[in-house]
Structure 1
Amino acid sequence: MGKQRSEIAMSADEISDFLNAGGTVQLALIGPDGYPDITPMWFVIDGDTLWMRTYGKSQKVVNARRDPRCCALIETGDRYLELRGVQITGDVQVVDDVDRICWVAARLMVKYEGVDPEHIPALETAYRDRAPKQVALSLSLDRIVSWDHRKMAPA
């Protein structure tokens, strides 16, 4: 399986394109009962970090503060030879910085709501009143496993 895995792994450019294309990340943290707690999240990429935004009192934040170990999955495809995905493993960081929360929120609106990027400064300003009740979550892109089953299809 090792050789096949290396043949279907995405290149760094393919991973970047895949992560920036959209989709929803499934964020798995350890719940209060010790079992995985999986939550769909919108995300943006900034350099080598995946960023998300949520309410500071949400269960996922309680979980992350208690035990930051997580796994995040972004995947697409309905049939075996269409499957593509990126799995990121690491420690999620809870960030209370209002400027960063506004930064993330504005870019999520551009990525998922179709807002024109030229409105980012205004979005960041408008979001400041809501930001204190929220947090940003960051996850380093250091530990990635990827696959693109389309690479197995006959030429």
Structure 2
Amino acid sequence: MSRRDQIRMTEDEVREYFDQQKVINVASIGPNGRPHLTPLWYYPYESGVATWTYATSQKAKNLQRLPEATVLLEDGDSYEKLRGISMEADVQLVEDTAEVTRMGITLMQRYAGAKPGDPVPDQLRSFIEGQAPKRIGLVFRPTKLVSWDHTKLGGSY
């Protein structure tokens, strides 16, 4: 078995990793043809991830022009602890304010430590409803996914 095969995550491990991590790095193509890289909070969605951003942001403009991105999640502070996922993705831009509101609530509840189905505090709902008209939702659907988990090597190289 190749080293690559040894460190590849299973589908269940990929889902668990999406659940555990907190920040994605999203690369889109800027107007000058160069990669534009930005960190974003996210939540797991279907087989990929979703988030929101300001509709006037550079990443939003890039993704409106070319709705494709590369997304990276990674952690580990030494070689034997490196884990991560890189995915090429088609990007769905969500402009419906009610859906963007739902996405914003899902995102903020996740980072507040709430569980799915927990009640949404009125103050949070009010804040998100005020933000949603200025934002768009982004849904990243993987077309190619590569994963690695060096902990599976047991400290060997």
What does 1:85-104 align with in structure 2 at a 5 Å threshold? 85-104=84-103
What does 1:6-155 align with in structure 2 at a 5 Å threshold? 6-115=5-114, 117=116, 118-120=118-120, 122=122, 123-124=124-125, 126-154=127-155
Partner Cα distance (1:18, 1:34) in 2 = 31
Q: CA deviation at 1:47?
A: 2.0
Amino acid in structure 1 at the alignment position of 2:61: V
Q: How many residues align?
A: 154
CA contact (8 A) 1:72 1:88 kept: yes
Q: CA deviation at 1:142?
A: 4.1
Partner Cα distance (1:56, 1:121) in 2 = 25
CA contact (8 A) 1:102 1:125 kept: no
The 4+ residue runs of structure 1 with deviation greater than 6 A are none
Partner Cα distance (2:98, 2:146) in 1 = 31
TM-score (structure 1 length as normaliser)? 0.89
CA contact (8 A) 2:80 2:155 kept: no
CA contact (8 A) 1:102 1:131 kept: yes
* Higher mean C-alpha displacement, 99-108 vs 20-29: 99-108
CA contact (8 A) 2:8 2:148 kept: yes
1:16-36 C-alpha deviation (Å, 9 max, x unpaired): 010011320000000111111
SS in 2 for 1:57: coil
1:22-60 C-alpha deviation (Å, 9 max, x unpaired): 320000000111111000000011222310111001000
Amino acid in structure 2 at the alignment position of 1:96: E
Where in structure 2 are there 5+ consecutive unaligned residues? none
Amino acid in structure 2 at the alignment position of 1:71: T
Q: CA deviation at 1:152?
A: 1.1
Q: CA deviation at 1:126?
A: 4.9
Where in structure 1 are there 5+ consecutive unaligned residues? none
Identity %: 34
